[in-house]
Structure 1
């Protein structure tokens, strides 16, 4: 087995994603563009998306890290718009695209057109939220886009299975489709609910951080594969488990959280980079299969499908935003009246991604119990590819200027800092009371300098947030807190140099050096996290 193409893919995509941080172009778009160019360079091998790899091996960790970083409370507060997008919109887009393609492409069976509709129905909000965070979208819109991306794949995959069954002649009905969807949704939810508590219990009982992080990496695959064994939605199972674990992450010890945060950031960075690069690298594979279609006809179909996909999202988003308010007085009482700007951004943030391509590549080659080819399979692949590229490039490049043009109100940093300071003040007061209780017990007696050090740590944490509201240094422009952290890091750097010099002079050995450096690293990490 030649692993060099895989190594080149991972290394190259990571390098491009890192370079994108120095440009105004979002990393997903630059990765796709470079992938398109590289795909035609001499000597570059074919990178074919294998649905047997993408869906069970790449999708679970990407869903897990996104769900674990999401807020369960925020998603619960936005459950109606999230459900309307992740379920209602996906089904609406499947039907709208299916009927449009059926009318547009001569000879395209309706069942095959509905397969295409299910394939391109789910937006990939990884790209959308990456853009949104860069330009500072309001948290409510970002939460809705995240929630949609967590659940819409399950709806699309179920709709795809029903449409494929009808297309290949295995028999499918509306009642059967609804039944399969309910089994997938309810089954996936049940599997997630059954697994989440035992998995969390295991995480809190395993005390070795390395073992805990190994378990953390296995959890999304366990949830996904368990649900799939029962013909339920692995996507929903992963999301339910990850939301619960993220919500209860405070119960895991600090060493695990620190390592887990770094590990999952690395995993998400590598997988997301490789996935978007893979999208661009599919161009030669897709074009070679197009064969029988004239270039102009294929291009016209691609443009028309892109317009239908964009229009269908707006046709759903605006009624889904305003109709519930018109029909329910309770909603009008509980929620603020939404402006038109939110639906515009949500409607335009409909970029498609690797899940659509992976599903398209899983379309069977032949009909059921027949050697007859699946109707228009090559065209479905081509139109899926052009829709993914078109939405990523056109919508991805224009979404940031659109958000800036609409002038969303920025985050009130002063109010956020005040809320943080009040929370820290309450926590410090309770901690100080607890410290007094502990020190009053003779079993916890400490020399005064050590007791004062504990009080100083509390005082430092309490004052750090308030200092951010103070006047900056007139010479450097730094806040008092920033200056404190910078000086602390300078002191740590000076200590580190002394330890290395002592090791080089054979006054201490490497094992002692590693112990001393780890202590300094933890102190510097604490300063860095405060700065974040």
Structure 2
């Protein structure tokens, strides 16, 4: 088994590398090649327990995805993400379950609902890869990525509920709702605790190798502990990744530079294996087709595939129209309250209530003054990022299924309460839906994106405006920093060495090249050293980083754009360290 797994990994990585070289969607090519290779007699048939596969693959993939997601964008798009990640999964599970029960009554209603929960969650790995390559707008990518991180939690919770019913447990609707609430609360709480601990470790340790190793291990721990406590391991890993990713700019630059290629390699390895594993399951699926029910099972698989494809757009467009109507209603109510003075009276009542609380409990009162939100900030809270009908068309067609669907189907097949025919039907349907959506939607999604002309032109214009504004702020902050340092420099090294400072400052601000150093001070003890210049450069970089964080926190700078700018600053700091390491030590 070890040798077989190694051969599969090498083959999958080779095919994925070829796809990347040619600019093709790697998940699709790996799946197609694995499907074709599964017929070859020397290609091994991998059999991995579904629960084990989820525990090994989900935590690192979810954590890596959460690290890259903009927390600010995720928060703003949360209503859209919640509609897709919770309600769409629930509706898909119910519709598929009812249709499967009517077509294949031997599944029983609980078993059919279990099948619905299995095929409900899309996997956005291939959709995200296609979207990034074709330049999908950031608002669409945020929704797709956020959905893929939440819908797995919803699906796995539904899976646990329906599996318990299949096993004979008596659960009401409220029992299922309570299980979901507990899973969400415990999962997010565990994830935030792990995220805070990992962040403190990243801040306090300066060894990027150790921090990177802990980063690889901690997602598994958060997932396992959350599941053990009855929470959602998926949400634990997502919450931890969002927390760590949001605070990543506050850590040492070496940690970020070590982390990025590490997770890119891990994602490449795991995704290649996952899609190869999906394709290699074809022989097992064929063997599960009993002669007496092959037609009925194939009919069920085809119908469920069609239902899965149709339910998504049939839900997205009405749900989006309802959300737009509701946000307009909220805005009208707020504007009416402002016009009548009711909003101002509410604000005053809140201020008076806080003052009474502060007078009664001075030890618990908040010391900082309360800042009232501006009208624009209130409008932003009452609305969500606008999606056009073209954006919703892309989101509707980006519903490819992946490893969660296949792994949970393999785990469900081992339930003792399901008869052999029902177990085989679940595995076959899950495989057909997974491969069918991957190939059908994955191959046509680029055509749809190009045909509709959905591109990131708006993002580019907004990025240019934000860049101009943040550069103006950083130039001003940098000039103030250099003014302060110039005074300190004159006191430490004397007026004669200000020429060195001025030349170095001009080089950092790219006003002019470094000037001739022939006018160095004769007093070697007071002469500025190389370390002084490095410290000045680090301070300059730190001031610019702080401005970027302030702009990000204020909502004036997109988080992905901020990360690109910080990556450029990290490269500058790496150059400082590299020059310091290679500089001759014999010179004063």
Q: Tell me the TM-score normalised to structure 2 length.
A: 0.75
Q: Are the equivalent residues in 2 in contact too, given 1:168–1:374 (CA < 8 A)? A: no
Residue 341 in 1 paired to residue 387 in 2?
A: no
Mapped contact 1:51–1:359 kept (Cα < 8 A): yes
Q: 2:425 aligns with which of 376, 379, 386?
A: 379
2: distance between equivalents of 1:128 and 1:373? Answer: 35
Matched, 1:457 2:508: yes
Q: Which moved more, 1:427-436 or 1:216-225?
A: 427-436
| Preserved CA contact (<8 Å) 2:85 2:148 | yes
Trace 1:327-406 onto structure 2 (pairs within 5 A).
Answer: 327-328=326-327, 329-330=329-330, 334=383, 338-363=387-412, 365-367=414-416, 373=419, 376-406=422-452
What is the rounded CA distance, in whole Å, between the counterparts of 2:385 and 2:272 in structure 1? Answer: 38
Check conservation: 2:104, 2:296, Cα contact below 8 A.
Answer: no
User: Would the alpha carbon gap of residues 449 and 415 (structure 1) be closer, same or farther in structure 2, given more than 3 Å must change?
Assistant: same
| 1:436 correspondence with 2:508 | no
Worse-matched range after superposition: 174-183 or 241-250? 174-183
Q: CA deviation at 1:175?
A: 2.0
2:507 & 2:154 partners in 1: Cα distance?
Answer: 54
CA distance in 1 between counterparts of 2:217 and 2:431 reads 31
In the alignment, what sits opposite 1:175? 174
Q: 1:360 to 1:409 in 2, by over 3 A?
A: closer
Q: CA deviation at 1:37?
A: 1.0
Deviation at 1:450, TM superposition (A): 6.2
Work out which of the two has the higher radius of gyration on C-alpha atoms and give 1 or 2: 2
Alignment partner, residue 256 of structure 2:
257
Deviation at 1:6, TM superposition (A): 2.1
Q: Which residue of 1 aligns with 2:46?
A: 47
Q: Distance in 1 between matches of 2:6 and 2:51?
A: 20
State the Cα deviation string for residues 133-175 of structure 1 (Å, max 9, x = none): 1212221111111100011101000101111111121333222
Aligned partners of 2:31 and 2:278 also within 8 Å:
yes
Cα drift, residue 518 of structure 1: 8.1
Deviations 1:432-475 (A, max 9, x none): 3213312321337767446523431332799xxxxxxxxxxxxx
CA distance in 2, matches of 1:336, 1:177: 32
Partner of 1:310: 309
Aligned length: 467
Structure 1 residue 314 displacement after superposition: 1.6
For 1:475-516, what per-residue CA distance to the aligned partner results, in whole angstroms no more than 9, with x for missing partners? xxxxxxxxxx9xxxxxx9xxxxxxxxxxxxxxxxxxxxxx88
| Stretch of structure 1 that moved more, 275-284 or 214-223 | 214-223
Q: Give, in whole Å, the separation in 1 of the partners of 2:254 and 2:210.
A: 12
Residues 94 and 118 of structure 1 are in contact (CA less than 8 Å); yes or no, is this contact kept in structure 2?
A: yes
Matches within 5 A, 1:49-448: 49-328=48-327, 329-330=329-330, 334=383, 338-363=387-412, 365-367=414-416, 373=419, 376-412=422-458, 413=460, 415-441=462-488, 442-443=491-492, 448=499
- Aligned-pair Cα RMSD in Å: 2.6
Q: Which residue of 1 aligns with 2:366?
A: none
Native 8 Å contact 2:100 2:304 kept in 1: yes
Whether the aligned pair in 2 keeps the contact of 1:122 and 1:356 (CA below 8 Å) is yes
Superposed CA offset, 1:81-140 (max 9, x none): 100110101111110000011111242211111111000000001111111112122211
Q: In structure 1, how many angstroms separate the alpha carbons of the residues matched to 2:175 and 2:384?
A: 37
User: Is contact 2:77-2:384 (8 Å) kept?
Assistant: no
Kept after mapping to 2: 8 A contact 1:98/1:116? yes
Structure 2 CA distance for aligned equivalents of residues 33 and 518 of structure 1: 49
In structure 1, C-alpha distance between the alignment counterparts of 2:221 and 2:386, rounded to whole Å = 42
List per-residue Cα deviations over 1:312-342 (Å, max 9, x = no partner): 1122111211112223412687457643222
**5+ residue gaps, structure 1:** 463-484, 486-491, 493-514, 521-532
CA distance in 2, matches of 1:305, 1:207: 52
Secondary structure at the aligned position of 1:362 is classed as helix
